[in-house]
Amino acid sequence: MRNDVLVPRHVCSRHVVLVGPMGSGKTTLGRALALRLGLPFVDVDARIAADAGCDIPAIFADEGESGFRARESRVLASALEGKPAVIATGGGAVLAEANRSAMRAAGVVVYLQVDPATQLARLAGDAGRPLLDVEDRARRLADLQVIREPLYRDVAHHLFDPSALSPEAAVTALADLLATAEASRE
């Protein structure tokens, strides 16, 4: 991994918020990007599960999607109120207008775009996705994308497609994108 990417102080003084569908790489890239930028990493879904003392499928089973979304909004708001960090949101965090407004106001929002075939392949062995507990996962992902794509685009400051890149190359390219964008703002 290259360490010579200079990231302006402005990037490190604001949150970098990653949005996108399941399987887009928010957690994988977010963790590595945080390391690169010298920022803490917050995985909203992991924090929800830790706070609840159970996994996300159990939250969905006990509280339904609406209960999960309420938890998601609280955890996201708390993360956005904290010190600058790289924040990996859940795929549905963009559904609430308040979440989208808060993300845009608190930092730089990057939409990690991923093609459906890559998304489906990455999620093939993942049984921890309640919204994918259906017979036709490809159809469900397509249906979710129709609803969420405009919201991802609306909230994002930057679009980034990591599909064809290794995680290391994607982190380097994303750090470059952030550095270039911040340099042009100065």
CATH number at residue 149: 3.40.50.300
Question: 177, 33 in Cβ contact below 8 A?
Answer: no
Whether pLDDT at 124 is above 60 = yes
In-domain check, residue 75: yes
pLDDT at residue 94, as a whole number: 97
Encode pLDDT of 53-70 as tens digits: 999 989 999 999 999 999
Structure tokens that stand for 76 in this block: 């996201």
The distance in angstroms from the start CA to the end CA of the chain is: 27
pLDDT surpasses 60 at 52: yes
Q: Residue 28 contacts by C-beta under 8 Å, 6 or more apart in sequence? A: 167
**Residue 2 lies inside a defined structural domain of this protein:** no
Helix 97-106 × helix 56-81 angle, to 10°: 40
Residue 126 has pLDDT above 90, yes or no: no
Q: Is residue 146 part of a domain?
A: yes
Domain that holds residue 144: 9-178
Q: Give 80-115 pLDDT, tens digit per residue.
A: 999 999 999 999 999 999 999 999 999 999 999 998
Dump pLDDT digits (tens) for 133-178: 778 888 888 898 999 999 999 999 999 999 888 999 999 999 999 9
Residue 185 inside a domain? The answer is no
Contact present, 51 and 58 (Cβ < 8 Å): no
Q: Are 77 and 124 in contact (CB under 8 A)?
A: no
Res 9 pLDDT > 70: no
User: Around 92, how many Cα atoms within 13 Å sit in the side-chain half-sphere?
Assistant: 17
Total domains, the chain:
1
Please give the residue that has the higher pLDDT: either 109 or 3: 109
Q: Is residue 104 part of a domain?
A: yes
In terms of pTM, does the model score above 0.85? yes
Q: What is the pLDDT of residue 1?
A: 41
> Which tokens sit at 186?
């100065």
In this prediction, residue 133 carries a pLDDT of: 79
